[in-house]
């Protein structure tokens, strides 16, 4: 099959987790409480919070699993609701039936890749399944093609309905390609894919 890859080639890691909330919900000592709660998560290496923007960036430790509850519970303890969770994950792609996934090395966190909704100027936009999305054929082919020959993909985007996980689903908004470690120059070796664009 054209898209088949072996599970033994899959490697990757969670790089960072970005969380947003309504800033008016978090006043007085709330930002300090969030900072303390996030810092106590075993997988978090560094916490940066902007109280005015209502946002936090969690740099993730290699080898530690990620789940929605790890973020949701600390926020509930501070009395704050989650607006959006964005993740950045590095890995190689694995096809599992109809799903295209990234699996983090060491902790085996499984991320299913799904397409953003791209409205067309010519066609009506159909209402997607509210609980499950798939990659469009064009985007799937592009990701599989770029991940061949051991290339690493860094995928970034918001989680789709994380409260219903597992599985965790990433809406693919940005992709960067990295060369395999043995071919990577000392100063990098990264090249961006063209940005995703709406259908004409």
Residue 114 token pair:
């799904």
- Domain-located, residue 135: yes
- Looking at mean pLDDT, say which of 32-46, 62-76, 179-193 comes out highest: 32-46
- Domain-located, residue 160: yes
Which uninterrupted H or E stretch holds 191? strand 190-192
The structural domain count of the chain equals 1
- pLDDT over 50 (residue 186): no
- Domain-located, residue 187: no
What pLDDT was estimated at residue 179? 65
- pLDDT over 50 (residue 197): no
pLDDT classification of 139: cutoffs 50, 70, 90: confident
- Domain-located, residue 124: no
- Adjacent-strand bridge partners of 192: 176
Domain limits at 57?
Answer: 7-118+129-182
What pLDDT was estimated at residue 132? 52
What pLDDT was estimated at residue 8? 25
Whichever domain contains 97, its CATH number is: 3.30.70.100
For range 148-171, the mean pLDDT:
86
What count of other Cβ atoms lies within 10 Å of the Cβ of residue 193? 13
- Out of 90-99, 120-129, 134-143, 159-168, pick the least confident: 120-129
């Amino acid at each position: 099959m054209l898209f088949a890859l072996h599970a033994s080639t899959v490697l990757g890691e969670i790089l960072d987790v970005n969380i947003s909330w309504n800033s008016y919900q978090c006043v007085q000592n709330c930002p300090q409480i969030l900072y303390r709660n996030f810092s106590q998560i075993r997988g978090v290496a560094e916490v940066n919070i902007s109280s005015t923007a209502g946002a936090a960036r969690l740099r993730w430790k290699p080898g530690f699993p990620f789940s929605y509850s790890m973020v949701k519970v600390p926020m509930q303890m501070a009395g704050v609701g989650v607006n959006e969770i964005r993740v950045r994950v590095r890995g190689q792609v694995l096809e599992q039936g109809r799903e295209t996934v990234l699996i983090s090395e060491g902790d085996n966190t499984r991320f299913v890749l799904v397409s953003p909704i791209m409205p067309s100027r010519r066609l009506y936009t159909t209402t997607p399944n509210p609980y499950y999305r798939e990659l469009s054929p064009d985007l799937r082919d592009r990701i599989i093609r770029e991940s061949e020959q051991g290339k690493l993909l860094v995928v970034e985007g918001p989680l789709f309905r994380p409260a219903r996980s597992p599985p965790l689903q990433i809406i693919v908004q940005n992709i960067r390609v990295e060369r395999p470690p043995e071919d990577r120059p000392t100063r990098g070796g990264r090249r961006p894919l063209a940005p995703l664009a709406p259908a004409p």
